[in-house]
Structure 1
Amino acid sequence: PSSCLRRVKILEDAGVIQQYTTIVDPQKIGLQLILFSRIWLVGQDAETIDTFIEAMKELPQVMECYIILGECDAMLKVVVPDLENYRKFQSEHLTKKNGITSVKTDLPSQIIKQSYQLPLQSI
């Protein structure tokens, strides 16, 4: 193997490179809406948080999920074809059975910047 391939293999083995992916334009495949959902959980106990985390991991509409320190308990980035699909998604999945007590959803009006590159120059 080339020296470059050896260095990449070392980075993969060390877990620095976690996966390879292709970036697809969601609108070109019918996923028209990106929404951000602020989540409040029914409790702060480990069981509630674990239930929520495991449920969110299983939902393909949830592109990103973060546990938040601040006003809400979690933040989701959700991608769906349209508002009706989001309404259905919210009523089926963002519920007490998944540890959720309240949801507030924000709809961005314009995407200014999306990046998947880490700022490695500043390290």
Structure 2
Amino acid sequence: MSPDLDPTDRRILSVLQKEGRISNADLAARINLSASACHRRVQRLEEAGFIAAYVALLDPRRLGRTTTVFVEITLSGQGDATLDAFEKAVRAIPEVLECHLMAGSADYLLKVLAADTDDFARIHRQHLARLPGVAQMQSSFALRVVLQSTALPV
């Protein structure tokens, strides 16, 4: 927990994570502050970097993206040039939602969103199989979402 946050800041962050479009007046009422004090606190939290961005979370099913695939990638080497080339190339694939450098059996873990298995085959063929430095790739298809959240514990 960050020592820079008091309980009121934590309540503000908690509400904003779940209701990013809440008006300042409603937020102030919810956390028992005046509108001006609430606005100042939110601005301070933004400036301090606690609030990184405001976004709209889209429903992937409504957009025809119903298949989530986790792809473990092992590279042929660990040199800076290999890692940099891989990371630059993976950033250019729009279907890759997340890419994590890992410690463990794989070097990278990717979260890929596709319309279906045929679409994933296309993504694999056109993008993933062409990533630089890849020695091995293993894909696992998610069957259903058990828990999904963007809210961090504050």
Do the two structures share a fold, i.e. TM-score over 0.5?
Answer: yes
- Equivalent pair of 2:89/2:131 in contact (CA under 8 Å): no
- What is aligned with 2:84? 50
- Where does 1:15-34 land on structure 2 (aligned, <5 Å)? 15-34=49-68
Write out per-residue CA displacement over residues 12-67 of structure 1, whole angstroms, 9 at most, x where no aligned residue.
Answer: 22221111111111011101111100011121111111111111222211111100
Query: Given the two structures, how large is their TM-score scaled by the length of structure 1?
Result: 0.89
Paired position in structure 2 for 1:14? 48
Paired letter, 2:94: P
Bigger strand share:
1
Structure 1 Cα separation of the partners of residues 134 and 105 of structure 2: 15
1:96 Cα deviation from its structure 2 partner: 5.0
The 2-side partners of 1:105 and 1:63 are apart by: 15
Aligned to 1:79: 113
Q: CA RMSD in A?
A: 1.5
Which structure has the bigger radius of gyration?
Answer: 2
Q: Which runs of 5+ in 1 are unaligned?
A: none
Name the residue aligned to 2:129: 95
Match of 2:6 in 1: none
Is 1:2 paired with 2:36? Answer: yes
For this pair of structures, how many residues does the alignment match?
120
Deviation larger for 2-11 or 102-111: 2-11
2:153 to 115, 119, 122: 119
Say if 1:42 and 1:96, in contact at 8 Å, map to a contact too.
no
Q: Post-superposition, which runs of at least 4 consecutive aligned residues in structure 1 deviate over 3 A?
A: none
Displacement of 1:106 after TM fit? 0.3
TM-score (ref. length: structure 2) = 0.72
Does residue 39 (structure 1) correspond to residue 40 (structure 2)? The answer is no
